[in-house]
């Protein structure tokens, strides 16, 4: 498979290493909109997009309008997701998005919801979250943190939203975001009561898990049509 890398920072370089190890080739390494717009027709089979929130939407639009299946891992732009999924449908394209491509994190998402279902019957436990990333990460809370919060809201009747930082509103889930180098990603969900605490935690040791998942998603997306996510890939 011939891959286009939209974004050639630390994640782009990690994805390149994994892709080459899995027998793929790199058609282009793109860091600017000008470079992207000079791509020749048919330059690659799939694009993998890890950039910044302000660039992601234009990158995804470009790919869909030019018939390039696109896997995106950029977070912080999801207010535009309905528009992107509509464009994908209109263009009969292929789009894959996940807030986190690590298989371990996606298992953690499922564990989070399972625990929340159990905890729904015990309102004496207050839930809170913490996420820690490197200082280069621009958005806060992280996309992974928001996905975890959405999982909690789906299962806990007493929670209707989330907020970054502490809160006294019992209907909101507080998410504490920290930026500490060189942490690739740590997420903790904690239930606290006057008697005891229950915590689940995922700690990434490197970017390799994220990069591997993105390449696997690109392999899976090739030849498909529609908008997909990790639940589709994992089954």
- DSSP assigned state of 125: S
Our answer to whether residue 41 is catalytic in this structure is no
Q: Is 187 known as a binding-site position?
A: no
- Catalytic hit among 24, 41, 137, 224: 137
Q: Is 74 known as a binding-site position?
A: yes
Q: Is 147 known as a binding-site position?
A: no
Q: Is 61 known as a binding-site position?
A: no
Our answer to whether residue 137 is catalytic in this structure is yes
Of 191, 185, 181, nearest in space to 158 by CA: 191
Q: Is 44 known as a binding-site position?
A: no
Q: Is 160 known as a binding-site position?
A: no
Contacts of 17 (CB under 8 A, 6+ apart): 211
Helix (H, G, I), strand (E, B) or coil at 35: helix
Q: Is 165 known as a binding-site position?
A: no
Q: Is 144 known as a binding-site position?
A: yes
Alpha helices in 22-161 (DSSP H): 33-37, 53-65, 81-90, 103-119, 143-155
CA distances from 38 to 60, 87, 165, 227, 233 (A): 15, 22, 42, 26, 31
Residue 4: both structure tokens together: 């286009």
Q: Is 101 known as a binding-site position?
A: yes
Of 27, 32, 37, nearest in space to 54 by CA: 32
- Catalytic hit among 24, 133, 187, 202: 133
Query: What residues are labeled active site?
Result: 133, 137
Q: Return binding residues for NAD(+).
A: 35, 73-75, 98-101
Q: Return binding residues.
A: 35-36, 73-75, 98-101, 134, 143-144
Q: Return binding residues for NADP(+).
A: 36
Q: Return binding residues for (S)-2,3,4,5-tetrahydrodipicolinate.
A: 134, 143-144
């Amino acid at each position: 498979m011939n891959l286009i890398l939209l974004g050639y920072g630390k994640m782009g370089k990690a994805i390149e290493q994994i892709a080459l190890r899995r027998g793929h080739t790199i058609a282009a390494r793109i860091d600017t909109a000008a470079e992207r717009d000079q791509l020749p027709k048919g330059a690659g089979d799939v694009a993998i997009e890890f950039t910044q929130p302000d660039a992601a939407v234009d990158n995804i639009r470009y790919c869909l309008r030019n018939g390039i299946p696109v896997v995106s891992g950029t977070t912080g732009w999801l207010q535009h997701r309905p528009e992107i999924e509509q464009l994908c449908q209109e263009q009969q394209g292929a789009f894959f998005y996940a807030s986190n491509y690590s298989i371990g994190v996606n298992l953690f998402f499922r564990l989070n919801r399972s625990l929340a279902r159990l905890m729904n019957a015990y309102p004496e436990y207050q839930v809170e979250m913490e996420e820690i990333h490197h200082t280069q990460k621009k958005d806060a809370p992280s996309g992974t943190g928001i996905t975890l919060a959405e999982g909690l809201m789906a299962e806990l009747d007493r929670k209707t939203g989330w907020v970054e930082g502490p809160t006294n509103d019992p209907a909101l889930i507080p998410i504490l975001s920290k930026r500490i180098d060189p942490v690739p990603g740590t997420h903790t969900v904690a239930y606290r009561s006057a008697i005891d605490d229950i915590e689940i935690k995922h700690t990434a040791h490197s970017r390799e898990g994220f990069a591997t998942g993105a390449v696997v998603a690109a392999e899976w997306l090739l030849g498909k049509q529609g908008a997909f996510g990790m639940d589709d890939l994992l089954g």
